[in-house]
Homo-oligomer: A and B are copies of this chain.
Amino acid sequence: MAGMRSRAGESTVDAIKSFILEEGLRPGDSLPSESEICSDLGVSRSSVREAMRTLSSLDIVQVKHGRGTTVGGLSLSPFIAGLAFRTLLNEDGRFSQLAEVVQLREGVDRAIGESLIARCSGQRDPELSRLVEEMREQSAAGESFMMIDRAFHARLLEFVGNGLLAQIVTALWEVHTVVVPQLGIQAPHDIDETVCAHGHMLDAIEAGDLDAYLEAVGAHYLPLRRAIERAAASAN
């Protein structure tokens, strides 16, 4: 048993994961208390605590002060945290990490075009229309419409019906909102362009015109791409 000591932390993590798997626990289900796990696994409370910390940061368990631990939401939040930090850190002065994030977002929007048209062509989702309208109002008032923008793209993804993709895109958005402010203020003209592009995307989907949709997506991301290039050039 003495040899086990050297990796009590890791093995405790695995033991708890195995326990959840074997018991068939679902998100929200309760885990045994720390002291119970201590005696079951034969390790100290500190080790269990560190293991819980690891699992908690992976959103595999959720620790609630004074109440106990439950199985976590298994979300992609650790992905977001790591990605945001990496994008913030890896500033080679050329914003290449951010550029990859934006490129990925544009790629997703392009890729879902076919599926959107197959599902929504000929009709118009009232919520999407409302979001574009709100966007226009906010923009006219000179305020940021980032949250609405985000809701718009999230709504589009609902029609695709892939929860994993939706979560990944949410993570990319999270990074986006953290890092984009470093680029500086965007020109008013660019903002108008972005708002219009959203409307054109909806028009194209309703009309079932894939090429027009792709063009609108391109117009949507062009201002952002330009902003990144400008920032990269000025930092160099």
Contact = CB atoms under 8 A, between A and B. Distances in A.
A49 B47 CA distance: 11
A78 B107 contact: no
A103 B162 contact: yes
Nearest to A100: B164
Contacts of A20: 89
A76 B82 contact: yes
Given A75-B82, A76-B79, A168-B168, 17 more contacts: A26-B89, A49-B50, A54-B54, A54-B56, A57-B58, A58-B81, A58-B82, A60-B82, A74-B89, A76-B82, A78-B78, A100-B163, A101-B164, A104-B162, A104-B164, A110-B111, A111-B111
A74 B90 CA distance: 10
A85 B60 contact: yes
Given A49-B50, A101-B164, A162-B104, A82 B90 contact: no
Nearest to A115: B107
A17 to B, nearest CB: 6
Nearest to A25: B89
A147 interface: no
Interface residues of A, number: 45
Interface string A55-70: 0111110000100000
Interface of A: 6, 9, 17, 20-21, 25-26, 46, 49-50, 53-54, 56-60, 65, 74-76, 78-79, 81-83, 85-86, 88-90, 97, 100-101, 103-104, 107-108, 110-111, 162-165, 168
A129 to B, nearest CB: 27
A75 to B, nearest CB: 8
A156 B162 CA distance: 24
